[in-house]
Amino acid sequence: MIKEINDSTFYNEVSQAEIPVIVDFWAPWCGPCKMVSPVLEGLEAEYGSKVKFVKINVDESPVISQRYKISSIPTIMMFSKG
């Protein structure tokens, strides 16, 4: 199961991560987000030891969503070394 993070946990979970992090910006009402989720969970099962996977609900985390200019979802970003 992919871990959900928010505005207050983003820094520790993503910026301070030792390995690359895939961030899924999503919302529960987003149909395409629901289609992407099983794919990301499969990738996490395969690569979870080498890459960290997290999800951010854009409705509940507006600060991070605005900081990275998320204008449509799903948006998937990769962070490496912050």
Rounded-to-10 torsion of CA 71, 57, 81, 3? -150
Instruction: Find the catalytic residue in 33, 40, 54, 58.
Output: 33
22 membership: H or E segment, kind and range:
strand 21-26
Instruction: Find the catalytic residue in 5, 30, 54, 58.
Output: 30
Q: Residue 47 has which token pair?
A: 């690569």
Q: Is 30 a catalytic residue?
A: yes
Active site residues: 30, 33
